[in-house]
Amino acid sequence: MNDMRILERSVDQTDAKISAKDVQVYYGDKQAIKDVNVDILDKTVTAFIGPSGCGKSTFLRCINRMNDTIDVARIEGSIKLDGEDVYDKRVDPVQLRARVGMVFQKPNPFPKSIYDNVSYGPRIHGLARNKAELDEIVEKSLRGAALWNEVKDRLQEPGTGLSGGQQQRLCIARAVATQPEVLLMDEPCSALDPIATGQVEELIDQLRSEFSVVIVTHSMQQAARVSQKTAFFHLGYLVEYGDTDDIFTNPRDPRTESYISGRIG
């Protein structure tokens, strides 16, 4: 009860970039997300944590309406981006996705050259006026994703020829290149070594000055390092949401406590 009031108060705060209310998601008859209310702040990194299968990816995909592509998926409630309901009939999901970028759980580069992978988004959205500008966006995005040094000499080679971790960073670069307002990252570091992970975390920290970033992670340490806010999901419920420091040092819900101390997962 107390929690609810805190949540409701935060809904009224004006710096909520994304505000979800009473979100339910069903896959056919199975409910994957139950009564989720959350406000994701602008220029903040929010971490989603929780055991496997608890609905983190599902909720993330609701924010940019990627679940539209799954026939059996059905969503209720409202998710607002800057106060506008993204599930409103008038909203074109394509326009939404240009503003809310996504890095998927499994690396999925296009089977095209590295350059084409990164430049695709800017090209279809007309973000560059000429080749030089496009080159610049590609380089900046690849640098941001800590990939530039490894691929700068082979931009024309296929992106699918990279290693798993490099592919993941390529996907990050691709998402960053479209200059979204919100970046949704589903376990972006799951295939990365500690050095690349550190670089991506650095990137996330930089992105925070311009965008709001939502990151799903299975690493408590990573959540503690990069995020300011943390949401703990369990069995489709949003169990606890608050400042990262509070959640990790002083969890209110016993389930949160047992998860972060390694007892459920």
Ligand X SMILES: Nc1ncnc2c1ncn2[C@@H]1O[C@H](COP(=O)(O)OP(=O)(O)OP(=O)(O)O)[C@@H](O)[C@H]1O
Residues forming the site for Mg ion (CB under 5 A):
57, 105
232 binds, among another protein, Mg ion, ligand X, none (CB under 5 to 8 A by kind): none
CA distances (Å), origin 124, targets 130, 139, 155: 13, 18, 19
Residue 93 burial by Cβ neighbours in a 10 Å radius (0-12, 13-18, 19+): middle
From the list 14, 69, 149, 209, which residue makes contact with another protein (rule: CB under 8 A)? Answer: 69
CA distances (Å), origin 33, targets 21, 147, 153, 189: 12, 35, 45, 24
- Does residue 104 touch another protein according to CB under 8 A? yes
> 57 or 197, CB closer to Mg ion?
57
> 17 or 61, CB closer to ligand X?
61
> 178 or 227, CB closer to another protein?
178
> 138 or 200, CB closer to ligand X?
200
The separation between CA 29 and the C-alpha centre of its own chain, rounded to angstroms, equals 26
The whole-angstrom separation of Cα 100 and Cα 94 is 10
* Those residues with Cβ within 8 angstroms of residue 10's Cβ, 6 or more apart along the chain or in another chain: 16, 39
Q: In the complex, which residue's CB is closest to ligand X?
A: 57
| Stretch binding another protein (CB under 8 A), from 65-73, 148-156, 218-226, 242-250 | 65-73
The three-class DSSP label of residue 229 is: strand
Q: Which residues bind another protein (CB under 8 A)?
A: 64, 66, 69, 71, 94-95, 97-99, 101-102, 104, 106, 108-112, 120-121, 124-125, 158, 160, 171, 174-175, 177-178
